Amino acid sequence: MTVLRPATPAEALRLYASRPKAAPLAGGTDFMVAWNMALHNGREVLDLSRLKEWARIERKGGFVAIGALCTHTRIRENVLIAKEFPLLAEACSTVGAWAIQNRGTLGGNIANASPAGDTFPALAVYDAVIRTAGPRGTRRIPILEVFAGVKKTTLGPSELIEAVELPFSKRRPDRALFRKVGTRAAQAISKTVAAGQLWLGRGGLVEDVRLGLGSMAVTVRRLSAVEAALKGRKLDPTGVERALALLGKDVSPIDDIRSTAEYRMTVSRNIIRSFLLP
């Protein structure tokens, strides 16, 4: 086996362009599982661990840039993230156990493209943008457009995730939500994972609302139909139930080894209802 260890992003991109079938390696928490299943047999490995430029958290004008190689632990413990993007910090604290958080990276998690990614609903309600680098230069892809299906992304050949950009909100939400439901309190793949932000205006009308769910479709979903039904209205039980009845337009959960579609829908509705009607 050949392990390529570039020292700079430019070198990494050159190597990847010349060896597009190489397997990128970040924290390795998903990579090693696939390795043990012999899914990487015969492949060259592109080890990205030396790219310090991609392991920074930086404030840049109207957004914060989180390097793709930042671990969940580093994000969870970062003061700026905790203050401005607390849902992401909370989501990072639910990823596996501390050993996984210490190794696993945000960019690697996104590239793995699991429907159950714990951070994805938070990134969705923060309108995250994924910055990539490749042979054709830099691209910025909205988080909801980077996933193409289960374990599939819209990244092009030899394209790597460089950073995740989170725009600062003009004003803090009146309410915020993060909730993961799994079989256990830790080291569990989510049955459903929810994130939300709510802004109220004059007279208690919903000025804006953002809701995201993971493990409820082949990719993370913003609840566009539910959000549209809530905007401009008061949060009363009748209106909330009317909006929640549209959840099936936004998500399509399945029965699998972890849960049933019916359970996922019921629990997700309960989580969102308790958020909207505390």
pLDDT single digits (tens) 234-247:
999 999 999 999 99
pLDDT at 229: 98
pLDDT at 90: 97
Across 41-159, the runs of DSSP E, i.e. the strands, are 45-47, 57-60, 63-67, 129-134, 137-142, 147-149, 152-153
Calculate mean pLDDT across residues 77-95: 97
pLDDT at 134: 96
Calculate mean pLDDT across residues 252-258: 90
SS3 annotation, 174-224: CEEEEEEECCCCCCCCCCEEEEEEEEECHHHEEEEEEEEEECCCCCCEECH
Q: What percent of the chain has pLDDT over 70?
A: 100
pLDDT at 62: 95
Calculate mean pLDDT across residues 17-35: 91
What is the band of 34 on the pLDDT scale with cuts at 50, 70, 90? Answer: confident
Q: Which of 30-34, 158-162, 171-175, 220-224 has the lowest mean pLDDT?
A: 30-34
On the question of pLDDT at 186 being above 80, the answer is no
On the question of pLDDT at 185 being above 80, the answer is no
Residue/partner pairs of 81-85 with CB below 8 Å, 24 or more apart = 81/57, 84/166, 84/168, 84/169, 85/122, 85/126, 85/166
pLDDT at 36: 83
pLDDT at 42: 84
Calculate mean pLDDT across residues 105-112: 96
On the question of pLDDT at 40 being above 90, the answer is no
pLDDT at 234: 96
53 compared with 34, residue with greater pLDDT: 53
One-letter amino acid at 96 equals G
On the question of pLDDT at 144 being above 90, the answer is yes
pLDDT at 1: 75
Task: Write the burial class of residue 202 (CB in 10 Å: 0-12 exposed, 13-18 middle, 19+ buried).
Answer: exposed
On the question of pLDDT at 41 being above 90, the answer is no
Do 114 and 76 touch, CB atoms closer than 8 A?
A: no
On the question of pLDDT at 211 being above 80, the answer is yes
Give the strand pairing for 23-25 and 63-67: unpaired
What is the band of 156 on the pLDDT scale with cuts at 50, 70, 90? Answer: very high
What is the band of 187 on the pLDDT scale with cuts at 50, 70, 90? Answer: confident
pLDDT at 8: 97
Mean predicted lDDT score pLDDT of the chain: 95
On the question of pLDDT at 14 being above 80, the answer is yes
